[in-house]
Chains A and B, each alone.
Chain A
Amino acid sequence: MNNKFVWILVAFALLVALLAVGLTRDPREIPSPLIGKSAPEFSLPQLGKDATFAPADLRGKVWLLNVWASWCVSCREEHAELVKLASRNLLPIVGLNYKEVRGDAGLDSSKLTPDEEKQLATGRAQQWLAERGDPYTLSVLDLDGRVGIDYGVYGVPETFLIDKAGVIRFKQIGVITPEALEQKLLPLIAELNQ
């Protein structure tokens, strides 16, 4: 066909091809600077217990650190997935309860004493776990979000996979979708456990 306008369709097809390739990539996937580094140390009170927890306690094991809060709407979606994962007993899952009180839009935390804040947070977190099942080996309370800062948390949920040497190997930003679990997390866990 002798049509001088055909180049328009060719140019458009090229653009579409480019956009299609673009879709397979994630511009936000700027590797977290923490990957390949040791998980930052901390020591936080455990939810509902008098003990504290530090990442060093799990040295020698592959484990997940899952950042959650009861006010986080997406966490509900993720929670069912986590409960399923926990029932397979593949690895310890530690919950980092992040800004349980201060992060909640409906609460004014400025008038609470530290003790009151902790009590309120514990109550809310425990109730949430009681209602939906508790996938966590243990949970810790990061009331003021300082540990969150060390881990570069900028939204809830986020999940870190930490290896036997205490090195962060993977970070899931946002909900652990069934695809992310099957395609990324589980193979990596199997590999790290070898």
Chain B
Amino acid sequence: MTPELGHFALILALLVAASTGVLALWGAQKNRAPWIALAKPGALALALLVTFSYLCLTWAFTQNDFSVRYVAEQSNSLLPLVYRVAGVWGGHEGSLLLWLLMLTWWTLLVRLFSRALPETMRARVIGVLCLVAAGFLLFILCTSNPFLRLLPGVPEGRDLNPMLQDPGLVIHPPLLYMGYVGFSVAYAFAVAALMSGKLDAAWARWSRPWTMAAWVFLTLGIAMGSWWAYYELGWGGWWFWDPVENASFMPWLAGTALIHSLAVTEKRGGFKNWTVLLAVSTFSLSLLGTFLVRSGVLTSVHAFASDPSRGIFILAFLVVVIGASLALFVWRAPKVGLGGRFGLFSRESLLLTNNVLLVVATGTVLLGTLYPLIIDALAVGKISVGPPYFNAVFVPIMTPLLFLIGVGPFARWKQASIPEIARLLKWALAVAIIVAIALPFAYGDWTPFVGLGIFAAVWIVLTALLHLIRQARATQGSGSFIASILKQPRHFWGMHLAHIGVAVFVAGVTIVGGYEEEKDVKMAPGDSVSVAGNTFRFLGVRQVKGPNYLAWQGDVELSKNDRFQRRLLPEKRIYHSSAMPMTEAAIDAGILRDVYVSLGEPIDRAHPETEWAMRVYYKPLVDWIWGGCILMALGGLIAMLDRRYRIRRNNPKAVS
């Protein structure tokens, strides 16, 4: 009964979403107050219905209702409760429902935190979001209904893919989806502004905190996914340029560009068309990512079982959503005025360069991701595009961007002076170069790649500190210097924290890329192996039993300079439901380095208690990669909470 209620709630939600969307938009266009007023209750009803439906599916999972086909495919009675709850989004149907759930929550948040918005603008934003939700509801109901029954039911479910049975599943998809879906708000604001024809600084100001919020979630979601892959896949990589990773990275790059271009639109009234196009593109890239993952046009570790009817539906959906908004843009854009003029070297021109570089980077990722598809479509062959392409094109594009992070904050709006900035930053430049030359020798050989990365990281941190000192002096007045530092606005702190996050990330990528060490060894109980001064002594394996798996657990003693550090317990798990063994690496994480052990295969299958193939890694600064992402997200969060985005409650209320 519960699954049918969930199904029914989805059908009702479709009706609510479609009618609210159409009436609110039409009402805003024709200025009909009663229709405009529908937007608020509509958003609430939609969120409640979808949440109810989602809870129904979760209930079916927790109750092990294997007469529901999706539950039978994704769950198992032996599965621990937390994975039954998270297993809801472990497959195609449920993850779409999660996507939709988040969309309706974002819509509800817009309804709750938009008191400063004119009534018609709010109705338009909510209307656009409702129409997007209606499209997704139609998609779920027509092609991917998670509530379909399997009659007769089965006594036992197939079980969740063992690779997903990890805390990463609980955290990564919701964060990522919050980010993906969150860009729909920026998109809805852009479309609403295009419809009204009012692309102004107020529109940019409204969009900024929402865009920032989505970006924060996406940053954390991607970082979490990267960390999960690092410890779960058992071979120590943190980014694979897999199509699905790229699908999340493209909106991130475009979203980063959008955040910067919104600054120009808000402060200077410039880049309006560009900003709108970026807002539309960012969400379009999220949708494109969904298409690439769900339609099965590309192969990926993330791909769910594909179904051609789903692909056709999403493609049609893409055409409607993206095509309509692009057409609206093309129609309206020529009438939008240009913003204030700016000099060849100014904060505007630097931000424009930032945007061009980020968009080019997005384009190269898109090209690399779609290239196998292009080749296949032209019937020239079948290829896959891997890290060599992406690394080769990505590093040269990102390097000037990293340099500009240091310069940008010092440049004035309209017209900046190169000699003045050069004078301010020459010492930072000198120190960064010296550190870039000297520091790598502490780790080993000097290579151009490492030198460049260290230079960029030091440069960004130094310039951020210089800017902080300079800004504090400028606004010091009669108070103390420290007090002045603390009084700097949040958007200022947020910006520098995020930029320092980039520096930390770059330092991590550089050092781990340049100096990681790994060894593949055959080890019998009692054998030792050393990497970078860390000695691993293999004591043997034993069998341990988990709730739904059996595992060989290795016992490895880690010591450094003959001093015992700790025991590491890597596992090789055989889940009852899967023929494929799972590797659980054991990691000793630290600020300056990780050491990482994973069990390969027993050398002699008949005697697994003897020799094993093992991999040991030494990964300096690897945690800085995710630490940098967390700093970026924190910076975004602080910037988002800046005073000027607060709701102005003392606004006179609209008289109805």
Q: A18-B370, A71-B156, A73-B73 are in contact. Are A108 and B579 (CB under 8 A)?
A: no
Instruction: Tell me which residues across on chain B come within 8 A of A4, comparing CB atoms.
Output: 334
Contact (Cβ within 8 A) A25 B297:
yes
Residue of B nearest to A19 (CB): B315
Contact (Cβ within 8 A) B154 A23:
no
Q: List 26 interface pairs A-B (beta carbons < 8 Å), by A numbering.
A: A3-B334, A4-B334, A5-B329, A5-B330, A9-B323, A9-B326, A9-B330, A19-B297, A19-B315, A19-B318, A19-B373, A21-B377, A22-B297, A23-B297, A25-B376, A27-B382, A71-B156, A73-B69, A73-B154, A103-B577, A105-B78, A105-B158, A105-B576, A106-B77, A108-B576, A145-B579
Bound Cα distance from A194 to B382, whole angstroms: 33
Other A-B contacts than A4-B334, A23-B315, A76-B150, 7 sampled, CB-CB below 8 A, are A8-B326, A8-B329, A73-B72, A73-B158, A105-B159, A105-B577, A145-B579
Asked if A30 is an interface residue, CB under 8 A from chain B, the answer is yes
Instruction: Tell me which residues across on chain B come within 8 A of A110, comparing CB atoms.
Output: 550
For A26, A30, A73, the residue with the greatest tally of chain B CB atoms inside 10 Å of its CB is: A73
Bound Cα distance from A26 to B376, whole angstroms: 9
What interface size band does chain B fall in? 35 or more
Residues of chain A at the chain B interface (Cβ within 8 Å):
3-6, 8-9, 12, 16, 18-23, 25-28, 30, 71-73, 76, 99, 102-108, 110, 145, 174
A interface footprint on B47-84 (CB within 8 Å = 1, 0 otherwise):
00000000000000000000001001100111000000
For A4, A21, A106, the residue with the greatest tally of chain B CB atoms inside 10 Å of its CB is: A106
For A18, A23, A30, A110, the residue with the greatest tally of chain B CB atoms inside 10 Å of its CB is: A23
The 4 closest A-B pairs by CB, nearest first: A105-B577, A22-B297, A21-B377, A106-B156
Chain B nearest CB from A129 CB (Å) reads: 16
Instruction: Tell me which residues across on chain A come within 8 A of B291, comparing CB atoms.
Output: 19
Instruction: Tell me which residues across on chain B come within 8 A of A25, comparing CB atoms.
Output: 297, 376-377
Chain A nearest CB from B504 CB (Å) reads: 36
Bound Cα distance from A16 to B376, whole angstroms: 15
Bound Cα distance from A6 to B297, whole angstroms: 28
Chain B nearest CB from A7 CB (Å) reads: 9
Asked if B174 is an interface residue, CB under 8 A from chain A, the answer is no
Asked if B311 is an interface residue, CB under 8 A from chain A, the answer is yes
Instruction: Tell me which residues across on chain B come within 8 A of A16, comparing CB atoms.
Output: 315, 318-319, 323
Bound Cα distance from A23 to B306, whole angstroms: 10
Bound Cα distance from A110 to B155, whole angstroms: 21
> Which residue from B296, B305, B576 sits with its C-beta under 8 Å from A26?
B296
Asked if B430 is an interface residue, CB under 8 A from chain A, the answer is no
**Which residues B576-632 have CB closer than 8 A to chain A?**
576-577, 579
Asked if B399 is an interface residue, CB under 8 A from chain A, the answer is no
Contact (Cβ within 8 A) B376 A22:
yes
Bound Cα distance from A26 to B308, whole angstroms: 10
Contact (Cβ within 8 A) B158 A71:
yes
Contact (Cβ within 8 A) B158 A28:
no
Contact (Cβ within 8 A) B377 A106:
no
Instruction: Tell me which residues across on chain A come within 8 A of B77, comparing CB atoms.
Output: 106
Chain A nearest CB from B427 CB (Å) reads: 45
Instruction: Tell me which residues across on chain B come within 8 A of A28, comparing CB atoms.
Output: 296, 299
Bound Cα distance from A8 to B280, whole angstroms: 12
Chain A nearest CB from B497 CB (Å) reads: 35
> Which residue from A27, A71, A76, A107 sits with its C-beta under 8 Å from B296?
A27
Bound Cα distance from A106 to B298, whole angstroms: 33
Chain A nearest CB from B375 CB (Å) reads: 10
Chain A nearest CB from B241 CB (Å) reads: 16
Instruction: Tell me which residues across on chain B come within 8 A of A9, comparing CB atoms.
Output: 323, 326-327, 330
Instruction: Tell me which residues across on chain A come within 8 A of B548, comparing CB atoms.
Output: 105
